[in-house]
Chains A and B, each alone.
Chain A
Amino acid sequence: MKAISESHYWATNKNNSKENYQLSPFKVMVRKEVSDHVRSWRFILLLALVVLTFFASLYISMSNIRATFTNTNDPDHAFFYLKLLTATDGSMPPFHILMSFLAPLLGITMGFDAINSEQNSGSLTRLLAQPIYRDNILLAKFYSAMLIIATLFISLTLLMIGGGLFLTGVRIEPQEFLRILAFALLTMVYVGFYLSLSIMLSVAFRHAATSALTALGIWLFFTVFYPIVVNLAIRAFLPDAAYLTQSETMAYNELILSIMRIAPGQLYSDAATTMLMPSIRSLGPMSMEQLSGAIPLPLPLRESLLIVWPQLSGLLAGSIACFALSYYLFMRREIRS
């Protein structure tokens, strides 16, 4: 090591002036986190999976678009770009259904070791010894991941619209564009929920493996086991439908749907389907009286947004609750590794 007197190591720092460009610590952390995500193999693999899924479902939709477009029995047949995301020949589920599986994985992958890996490696103590607010670390982790997710989905959306325009020459209607944009935003919120959940678990558990397995367990429970449990409960506790009046049947159906909507995947599927299929008029059971006289026309965007507002609020509330809990846990956390 050289003697300190050999050169003026801080000479330039002494000349600090307001004109000197400085980044805020939050921006510095976000930049570093984004760079880490982009360079990590697990993100690259998952990104490839999402992009492949997107192009595969787009290819299948394009292959069947003629039949779909000319099917006048389908009230949504005229929405060419929406059909690109929803039409399928049965060989693989449409993109929005696939996303209800892949989006949680994306969120979990980007957040399960956000805090605990830093704590275990000892870098968290170093980081917190710098003049930065503790909550900025948590916020930077969330913000950077959301930035990447937003970039990914907006790019995919624009790619789809551009590809559709290029291949078919069909002009996109503003309403279609807004619906697709709303679907992309909805998907971001859905990924954000699982991201927020996995960050919370990374604060709660010391080991990254524990937080990853817990997050995957929660995802599996809501995706696979929760509908089974609800079905079993319905069979065990609900009376035989043959002995129920119409209003009682409606009430029970509402109850079942409400229970199902505890699952974030259900909220996302409901909202995504409504945004991509303008003909959907309600997400709950409807009586024949309600349906009679209704004109079979697609709903305007505003009406569809009103229908999905509770679902969107539910997902946002879940994300905020998880983030608030991680904030609470992290701020009280002893940082010694």
Chain B
Amino acid sequence: MEPIIDLKNLCKSYGSHVAVDQLNLKIPHGEIFGLLGPNGAGKTTSILMMLGLTEPDSGSAIVCGYDATRNPIEVKRKVGYMPDNLGFYPQLTGLENLVYMARLNGLPEKDIIENARRFMELVGLKAASDKPASSYSRGMKQRLGLAEVLIKKPELIILDEPTLGLDPNGVKEFLELIKSLQQEQGLTVLLSSHHLHHVQQVCDRVGIFVDGKLLATGDLPTLSHELFGNTGVETSIYLTQVPMDADVLKDKFSSFPELNSLTISGVNLQFNTTEDITPKLIRRLIESGLDIQAVSQKQYGLDEIYEKYFEKNTNLTPEHESD
């Protein structure tokens, strides 16, 4: 099956500033893909090129089977886009804003009002449907934006910083809704965000963008493996007493191919392994007659992966919130 997004050597410059440099990306149907990167990394420019709203200097963007540069109308018919800077017509109510967008998408007049009310209810704005959009909070605007994206029944949803300005509960609900959309409706979601934690919660794969370049794509274990090699998982096991002979203890784990290193400092045994083999380690320690006090594990998360990529490519501090 052809990918829903297929970007090949996509480039865009503004004067001497290279916004997007040789972007190659394939996103299959039904996936939630997260685009990560600091401000000015080229995420929004890439999204706009996918929608045919900005013309690339070179390369091609095939979205939902259509060339976004040559056939932007067909692409926009199948893609729901929620921009980061959401602006609604303040003089219209939330419902009227939604109905307007539904009409622009050619939805049958007969069902528009009914459908719009349903989607207002879906995003939790039923009570505020008839209030002017100017009175909406940032969170309410995000919800209205999502309703607008969904009402056209898109094949692909592109969300640019969708959790910006939402309270923690709102973020949780929003992400759950996105996840359920993907699972139940088979929608593909492309999500750009600074909130690494949020991306980690819902995305199947992520792409890391720095200075217009997509440095890496993949799921978390793959990215972790690429970056940290065989030091992907760190397990600390605390014993009840200091082991008698460290070398003998190390010999007991030498047959484990996943083990990179073992550091013994007092009662603390630190294992570096290529994958999570904690149960095996515990079993071997118990077989050796040692009593275990506590076990802790550190796995490299998106925060570490992101920062590592950023350090490798720039001298700047990444802009993100790791809440």
B176 touches A131 (CB 8 A): no
Q: Which residues of A contact B152 (CB under 8 A)?
A: 130
A122→B136 CA distance, assembly (Å): 15
With CB as the reference atom, state the residue of chain A lying closest to B150. Answer: A9
- Cβ-based interface call for A302 (8 A): no
- Cβ-based interface call for A235 (8 A): no
A1 touches B122 (CB 8 A): yes
Residues of B that sit less than 8 Å from A by CB: 44, 48, 51, 53-54, 73-74, 76-77, 79, 81, 83, 85-91, 100-101, 103-111, 114-115, 118-119, 121-124, 143, 145, 148, 150, 152-153, 173-174, 176-177, 180-181, 184-185
Q: Which residues of A contact B74 (CB under 8 A)?
A: 131
The contact of B110 among A3, A9, A21, by CB within 8 Å, is: A21
Per the 8 Å Cβ criterion, residues 122-176 of A in contact with B are 122-133
B124 touches A130 (CB 8 A): no
With CB as the reference atom, state the residue of chain B lying closest to A132. Answer: B104
The contact of B108 among A2, A20, A126, by CB within 8 Å, is: A20
Cβ of B154 to closest chain A Cβ, rounded Å: 10
Per the 8 Å Cβ criterion, residues 20-66 of A in contact with B are 20-23, 25, 28-29, 32, 36, 39
Query: 8 nearest interchain CB pairs?
Result: A122-B87, A20-B108, A121-B87, A12-B111, A129-B81, A123-B87, A122-B85, A131-B77
With CB as the reference atom, state the residue of chain B lying closest to A40. Answer: B91
B118 touches A13 (CB 8 A): no
Residues of A that sit less than 8 Å from B by CB: 1-7, 9-10, 12-13, 16-17, 20-23, 25, 28-29, 32, 36, 39, 118, 121-133, 334-337
A150→B261 CA distance, assembly (Å): 84
Cβ of A70 to closest chain B Cβ, rounded Å: 53
A36→B74 CA distance, assembly (Å): 29
With CB as the reference atom, state the residue of chain A lying closest to B86. Answer: A122
A-B contact pairs, 27 of them (CB 8 A): A1-B124, A1-B143, A1-B174, A1-B176, A4-B177, A4-B180, A9-B115, A12-B111, A13-B107, A16-B107, A20-B108, A20-B109, A22-B106, A28-B103, A32-B89, A121-B88, A121-B90, A122-B83, A123-B87, A125-B87, A127-B104, A129-B81, A129-B83, A131-B73, A131-B106, A133-B73, A335-B48
Cβ of B88 to closest chain A Cβ, rounded Å: 6
B185 touches A28 (CB 8 A): no
Number of A-B contacts (CB under 8 A): 125
With CB as the reference atom, state the residue of chain B lying closest to A123. Answer: B87
**With A1-B143, A4-B185, A126-B86 as contacts: A9 and B101 at CB distance below 8 Å:** no
A131→B64 CA distance, assembly (Å): 14
A125 touches B173 (CB 8 A): no
Q: Which residues of A contact B153 (CB under 8 A)?
A: 10, 13
A126 touches B111 (CB 8 A): no
Q: Which residues of B contact A20 (CB under 8 A)?
A: 108-111
The contact of A130 among B44, B101, B119, B122, by CB within 8 Å, is: B101
B123 touches A32 (CB 8 A): no
With CB as the reference atom, state the residue of chain B lying closest to A23. Answer: B103
A129→B180 CA distance, assembly (Å): 24
A29 touches B109 (CB 8 A): no
**With A129-B53, A335-B53, A337-B85 as contacts: A7 and B118 at CB distance below 8 Å:** yes
A32 touches B100 (CB 8 A): yes
